[in-house]
Amino acid sequence: MTTQRTAADWEFEKGGRMNVPSTAPTAAPAKPPAPRPPGRVLAMFPGQGSQRPGMARDLLRHHGAIAGPLLLEADLALGLPLTEICTLGTAEDLAATEITQPAVVAMSLAVLEVLRREGHFAPGAVTGHSLGEYTALVAAGVLAPLDALRLVQIRGRLMADVGKLTPGGMAAVIGLDAAEVEAVCRQAAGHGLVEVANYNEARQTVISGEAPAVAAACELALARGAERAKALPVGAPFHCSLMAGIEAEFAAELSRCHFADPRTPVLSSVTGGWIRSGWHARELLRRQLAAPVRWVDVLHTAHAGGYGHFVEVGPGRVLSAFARHTVQEAVVRSTNDARRIASLINDNTSHQEKDMS
């Protein structure tokens, strides 16, 4: 059995280059804590929804010496066969929220370590979409990796419990501005609670709440001219007021973990701004349960701070698409498969060799 790593062991190497009025994303995001040269790298860590069957297969085949022990450590710490589920499991095996959340975080941490050891990957800042914020905090030296995995396992269980007690759901509304989607939610309030859960793109917004209200909001959105309004296959109504009831219990779990001050700048998806301290990070994770994901603001804040390269670290390419649509001049990379990981490693190594010549 491997020994538990501390947050410092996982710390990034330094110097990387590469309800009215509306709460929709603002045009003028907060400034970062200090000026940074243009073109620096922002590492983005995915959340729930980026999982897929067999997502660990390529990683273990090509980088097993690094990824294998890390995934095994997660298996032993959580008492879950995550390695098997991420390699051989079906979509149904990955569907349970209490499985999905630690699986996505474990995969992202494994990819991160491969990039660090083989490609000297050292971004200037990190961020994560909802669940991905836990991975970002590990990358920034705020949380120990096993603490993050245990927290997301508990988080997933608590969220799943809400879903069992309250018939709820989520839906993606495409083709309307965020302010219009907020108006739709207010209009559908007679059917129950429904709120904006994710501000993903300028014209892609996710809503969450009680099932009848979500269905009514989708119909109203289509009537307003939305291109699509489709239900999402999730186990609970995430990022809305229905999750407020589990905040106190989860806050007690957060209080048992040490949160260090960030050693790499971290952007929070709760506020779209920079995390100031370990205490601030802990408080934002509590608030995150019932608060919307402000991903548009995250990307605008990063871009305003001189970050021109966006690298999605972990399974899927969802965040890469959001980045391309929101910051069109950005250079965007993903690590969804062995080919993309190898390309990023080779590019990073090549750049370092040029710097040393």
Among residues 50, 108, 129, 130, which one is catalytic?
A: 130
Instruction: Tally the residues of the chain.
Output: 357
pLDDT 10s per residue in the chain (357 long)?
Answer: 433 333 333 333 333 333 333 445 544 444 444 433 445 999 999 999 899 999 999 999 999 999 999 999 999 999 999 999 999 999 999 989 999 999 999 999 999 999 999 999 999 999 999 999 999 999 999 999 999 999 999 999 999 999 999 889 999 999 999 999 999 999 999 999 999 999 999 999 999 999 999 999 999 999 999 999 999 988 899 999 999 999 999 999 999 999 999 999 999 999 999 999 999 999 999 999 999 999 999 999 999 999 999 999 999 999 999 999 999 999 999 999 999 999 999 987 544 433 322
pLDDT of residue 14: 34
| Owner of token pair 């110097």 | 15
Rg of the chain in Å (alpha carbons): 19
Distances (CA, A) of 213 to 172, 179, 180, 189, 232: 14, 18, 16, 7, 14
pLDDT of residue 127: 98
Number of H helices and number of E strands within the chain? Answer: 12, 10
Active site residue 130: yes
pLDDT of residue 332: 96
Among residues 129, 191, 239, 300, which one is catalytic?
A: 239
Active site residue 239: yes
pTM of the model: 0.87
Cβ partners under 8 Å of residue 178, min gap 6: 22, 24, 25, 196, 199, 202, 205, 296
